[in-house]
Amino acid sequence: MDIKLYYTHNTRSLRPRWLLEEMQLPYQLQLIDLFGGEANKPEYLRINPHGAVPAAEIDGQVMLESGAICQWLTDSFPDKGMAPAHGSPERMRYEQWMYYTFGTLELPIWMVFLHSMIVPEEQRVPDIIAWANERNQPILERLDAELKNCEYLLGEQFTSADIMVGSTLLWQSEAVKSFPALQGYCERLQARPAYQRATTDPSPNA
């Protein structure tokens, strides 16, 4: 399988890169200078009309959305063990956490980023930051409780759900410090060799 990943450091494109490293699949890394405006140039807009990363080109077909790319890769290589089997009770939990990332976990922290550093200053709304921080608290509490007695979200098995949830928690490493189980979880994730390779410039594994 021919895999090309359009990638910018410190963005959601870490998710598929980290997964590719966990699975030790060969891939080509195409660095996109997102913050320098490259994603809004016609050449890249032909890949992703939203001017966002990640995008993947798999055997010539473009796929968008970090979660979808990770899910597709996970299911395409079941022998890599990055998800429980379809139909198993563990799969329910796995899918819950995959969707939790986009449906619950990302929203408040993304609102904080948007209104503190991303949207133009005159459009920022401080009340939204306050709302989002308040909304974020029970989410972190819930995840902290969930991870109290286990290594990973599904227990001992590391799965793609840990990449989704973990990468999003790592956006807020300061807040995570107040939650011992979450802090330990984030440290375990960051100590994984695949995570370290994925955050190293430039290094595809193969």
- Applying CB under 6 A, the residues found at the interface with ligand GSH are 11-12, 34, 51-54, 65-67
Q: Three-class SS of residue 38?
A: helix
Q: Which neighbouring-strand residues pair with 56?
A: 5, 63
- Dig out the tokens for 102 from the structure: 């986009």
SS3 call for 98: helix
Q: Of 113 and 131, which has the nearer Cβ to ligand GSH?
A: 113
Provide the minimum distance between the beta carbon of 12 and ligand GSH in the complex, in angstroms, as a whole number. Answer: 4
Of residues 19 and 52, the one with the C-beta less far from ligand GSH: 52
Residues 44, 39: Cα–Cα separation, whole Å: 5
What's the count of helices (H) and strands (E) in the chain, helices before strands? Answer: 10, 4
Instruction: Supply the minimum distance, in Å, between the C-beta of residue 176 and ligand GSH.
Output: 18
Looking at the Cβ atoms of 170 and 181, the one nearer to ligand GSH is 170
What are the tokens at 68?
């979808």
- Residue showing the smallest CB distance to ligand GSH in the complex: 52
Minimal distance, residue 34 CB to ligand GSH, in Å:
5
- CB 65 to ligand GSH: min, Å: 5
